Amino acid sequence: MKCLFCEIAEKKRPAKIIYEDELAVAFEDINPQAPVHCLVVPKKHIATSLELEKENNALVGHLFQIANKIAKDRGIAERGFRLVMNCNPESGQTVFHIHLHILGGRIMHWPPG
């Protein structure tokens, strides 16, 4: 089977898409862990952050720019929000196509579970 997030990016699988450009999409997480829980996903398939090469540096910066825009649009920028990218199984990564979680709208705890 093809990658879940490639399929969402290619519109072969439904998702509540909230942002899209030529390089990335952002959509609502199907199982939200906070009042705001969105995922920012590059259209290019990269399995984990360990596979990021120098040539991807601008792309990663772009994902953060999108996350900032969404946080501002959702009114959580000033209150605070958390950006998370899990890497490999012990972190909790379950979808092996990199994605930035945007979590906000409630107080976040530290250390994370």
Q: Which of 29, 49, 52, 59 binds ligand 5GP (CB under 6 A)?
A: 29
Q: Which of 83, 86, 105, 108 binds ligand 5GP (CB under 6 A)?
A: 86
- The token pair that represents 93 in the structure block: 């990564």
Cα 24 to chain center, whole Å?
Answer: 10
Rounded CA separation 70/65 (Å): 9
Tally of CA atoms within 13 A in the half-sphere of 20 that contains its CB: 11
Q: How far is the CB of 1 from Zn ion (least distance, A)?
A: 11
Which are the catalytic amino acids? 99
Residues that bind ligand 5GP (CB under 6 A): 4, 15, 27-31, 39, 86, 92-95
